[in-house]
Homo-oligomer: A and B are copies of this chain.
Amino acid sequence: MDECKIIVMGFGSVGQGIVKAIKMEKDKILETLGINLKIVAVADSCSSAINPDGLNVEELLKTKSEKGKLGQCPNCGTTNTDTDVLDNVDYDVLMECTPTNIDDGEPARTLTLKAFSQGKDVVTSNKGHLALNYKELDDAAKANNVMFKFEASVGGAMPIINYAKDALSGNQIISIIGILNGTTNYILSRMTSEGSSYPDTLKESQMLGIAETNPTQDVEGIDAACKAVILSNSVLGQPATYSDVEVEGISNITSEAVSLAKENGYLIKLITEVSPKTLKVSPRLVKQGSSYDLNGTLNMATLKTDLADEVTTVGKGAGSLETASAMMTDLITILRTKN
Contact = CB atoms under 8 A, between A and B. Distances in A.
Contact of A168 (B21, B170, B316, B329): B329
Given A306-B24, A314-B312, A167 B293 contact: no
Given A163-B159, A293-B289, A170 B311 contact: no
A171 B322 CA distance: 10
Contacts of A143: none
A13 interface: no
A158 B308 CA distance: 8
A312 B311 contact: no
A311 B167 contact: no
A235 to B, nearest CB: 13
Contacts of A24: 306-307
A329 B170 contact: yes
A274 interface: no
A325 interface: yes
A291 interface: yes
A144 to B, nearest CB: 21
A162 interface: yes
A313 interface: yes
Nearest to A293: B289
A324 interface: yes
Contacts of A313: 163, 311-314
Interface in A129-184: 151, 157-159, 162-163, 166-172
A315 interface: yes
Which 10 residue pairs of A and B lie closest in terms of their CB atoms, listed nearest first?
A: A170-B328, A307-B325, A170-B329, A159-B167, A157-B308, A311-B315, A308-B325, A312-B314, A162-B167, A169-B332
A322 B309 contact: yes
A73 interface: no
B157 A311 contact: yes
B307 A321 contact: yes
Contacts of A332: 169-170
A169 B333 CA distance: 8
Contacts of A169: 328-329, 332-333, 336
Interface in A324-338: 324-333, 336
Given A159-B163, A170-B21, A313-B312, A307 B322 contact: yes
A51 interface: no
A28 interface: yes
A53 interface: no
A289 B289 contact: yes
A194 interface: no
A25 interface: yes
A15 B231 CA distance: 32
A321 B305 CA distance: 11
A204 interface: no
B310 A315 contact: yes
A287 B310 CA distance: 24
